[in-house]
Structure 1
């Protein structure tokens, strides 16, 4: 995607997701396009059809904040998606990109995660690779072909739909979270490579990526079907690591006294004596699930 077409691509994708009846228009008749017509969006947003067409075609790329808000209302954009629209309309000049270095997790953060023996915790990189995990975090996601890469685990792992009982919701949130993480930096070579691979190998990813959904990873309740302990229902909080831009600390918890808490405790017991997770044979650079250093290392 070029910078010139980013705004238009986003508006077009989101327009196709809004049904006429969602905005009070009659749903009958034959429509040649999915969702709303361009002239309908323009009318509802209070702009001319010609101006809106120029926005989608990339001939006009800087609508005012008022117009962006109006378009967001018509397209039913949630908070994260509306913020993304405003960034597309008024992009901040980017500095020259430096060659990406190896993502490293702070030793202090690793020690803190190790101090939570009953709480699964992961540190994710910008592209949802697992940069570090404590013992229970490794146990929760272990045993898959792509345990060290949650994006590929969802879309390429053969047992992903078994592991995630609510796979459709997980898949949509994962793609929305990736778009939120990369923001306007969609010409990053690593992103282009990742999106290209997943688009070729997964029709589901390709369809979801084309929707341009934006969902910041914050908190959610998620169900797992673990190979060792069965069903788990866990809530997570995603915390930004301020000392390492692009990294997120993901912390999972079970409801106190629930069957999930008992299953999580059992999982910890079953895996307490297992060897540390080793890199997967098919891992990509930077995708290793790194163990936290033992005391004295």
Structure 2
């Protein structure tokens, strides 16, 4: 069986090297700058591995150009709206072009923090208590009651943004009101999540495998946009410092969460461990950051995969997962 599997993989790899691959990046979402960096790194990694690669910024080039350029397959490096939420995936399926990562449903559900939380809860997967606030009914809401119901301190999250964009913590009615107004600038629905005291971890998923967990450490109030992309004080620990049993538990939980939202191929699951030692799922990311210093490449490196090998594996999964 091992030899047959290796033969099939070699055959798929040889086929892929005959194809014209487009890395779609940039776009128009709030995560454009991160996507530009991811796309450039992915293209470089694929070219190093011997693939025929074209970089295409979807802000500047219409998707129908994929047909005129005779693109055979797409590596999606678009983060956020229009790239990670199922819209692009649906368009590519309509055009008949294979692509990396999750399909329409998995992308859409994973991107929506509210629906993801509801799915975690329905599947009896651990996640912090939460409430949903709709912009249309914001003025009717008793912020004091909501804050009290969620333990007096909350994390405010736009439902469909990534990279911690629009997120804030609140522990007074005034802070919550201001944070909601800010979040409504990004989305008409906002998730209020009970504050979790404890370290944050992330687990990268590649196919059916969970890669080594990473623990993030920041002196900031939480792991926000600045901590992720601008700060020099953020630390990433891999090995993450958990016992073997705890890391096995976090990996198994991450795979369950990934499968629950219908995610596919590759991605990342973020979670925290509260002060009682209980894991709390945060979200599933189906197109996480992919610069050579991003979290998934860090986990892959600890697993023994170079960046070039990682992007090659993701491309290979696009053959297997879409059959």
Q: Considering the TM-score relative to the shorter chain, is it more than 0.5?
A: no
TM-score grouping bracket, smaller chain normalisation? under 0.3
When normalised by structure 2's length, the TM-score is 0.24
More strand by share: 2
Of the two, which has the highest radius of gyration?
1
